[in-house]
Amino acid sequence: MPRRVLIAFLLALALLSFPAGAGATSRDHFVGAPRSAAINLDGGFPLEVTPDRFAALTGDVAGGWQLSLDGVTLAEPGALDGVNTIGFSNALPDDVLGAYIFWPRRVYSNKKRCRRVHGKRRCHRVKKYRYSEVTEADVAFNAGFRWNEGPRYPGDDEIDLETVEIHELGHFNDPNRPHGARCSGSPLTESLAYGEWWRDSDNWFEYGCSNSPGKLLASPATSRVAVRYARVAHWLPDRVSGAR
């Protein structure tokens, strides 16, 4: 694979069917998304990433998105098991770096509507969609890539783990927010190439972007002020795994 070939963050429309044969669409509004998750430190780790570094990085990024962590778990990310889990997976499609995987349940209301027919009042119940409640949510990272665990910048043959964590936990923070176009400077950029990164609004790099700040820091290992990531509006989630 060419080093600068873009790797999609998202499985654009990997949506399983909803009840009554209706698929999730841009009109769905998700509520009740979990604000905490546990970390899986036991399964499918790539050689380039240590569990300790993954745990520390996940804690830092979760704090930036104002999410909390509930310790460690053996639950597999991407499995409907009642546990909100963050971890590596070997089950993602080959071209997906990471995915926010969640299970929504559509909520409807029944309203009574009446009208007069031949002088008589006729009434019936109308089913109206209200929102989709998120009952469980995971974040999975593809163990099949060559990752840069940081804190250094990624090499030309590495995918930057911190960038992908910021992206996916941003969806965990709010699944109703869309991806930003490439070169927009958004942490939820729609795609990422080997050797690219997003660490802060003034410290990101994408090939072909004239507005990319590039390597502004001599070393990202130096002390940095904690970043609180701004919410960025978006349209579709990375992946809806199922519905109940």
- Exposure string (b/e) for 176-187, b if CB count within 10 Å is 16 or more? bbbbbebeebbb
Cα 235 to Cα 220: distance, rounded to the nearest angstrom: 31
The pLDDT of residue 214: 73
Distances (CA, A) of 83 to 38, 60, 78, 80, 88: 8, 21, 10, 8, 15
Amino acid at 215: K
235: left (phi over 0), alpha (psi -120 to 50) or beta: alpha
Query: pTM for the full model?
Result: 0.77
Architecture, CATH, for domain 11-176+230-240: 3-Layer(aba) Sandwich (3.40)
Q: Which residues pair with 115 in a beta bridge?
A: 122
Q: What is the pLDDT of residue 26?
A: 56
Percent of the chain with pLDDT over 90: 43
Q: What average pLDDT does range 58-77 have in this prediction?
A: 96
Q: What is the enclosing helix (H) or strand (E) of 71? A: strand 68-72
pLDDT for 49: 97
- pLDDT at residue 238, as a whole number: 53
Segment 197-217 mean pLDDT: 82
Across 18-22, 42-46, 97-101, 194-198, least confident range: 18-22
Rounded Cα gap, residues 147 and 145, in angstroms: 6
Residue 2 burial by CB count (10 A; 0-12/13-18/19+): exposed, middle or buried? exposed
Q: What is the pLDDT of residue 27?
A: 74
Average pLDDT in the 190-196 region? 88
Give pLDDT, residue 23.
42
Digit-coded pLDDT (tens) for 10-32: 332 222 222 222 345 557 888 99
Interval 141-160 mean pLDDT: 92
- What is the band of 215 on the pLDDT scale with cuts at 50, 70, 90? low
Task: Round the average pLDDT of the chain to a whole number and report it.
Answer: 79
Q: Is the pLDDT of residue 43 over 60?
A: yes
Average pLDDT over residues 218-228: 44
- The pLDDT value recorded for residue 119 is 83
Determine the Cα–Cα distance for residues 142 and 144; give it in Å rounded to an integer.
Answer: 5
- Which token pair is 6? 């873009």
- C-alpha 129/C-alpha 20 separation (Å) is 12
Per-residue DSSP letter, 146 = -
Q: Kindly report the number of other CB atoms within 10 A of residue 95's CB atom.
A: 15
Return the minimum-mean-pLDDT range out of 22-31, 188-197, 222-231.
222-231
CA distance 137 to 85: 7
Q: Identify the pLDDT of residue 113.
A: 84
Contact 50, 147 (CB under 8 A): no
Q: Quick one: pLDDT at residue 228? A: 44
What does the pLDDT look like over 95-120, one tens digit per residue? 889 999 999 988 998 888 888 888 88
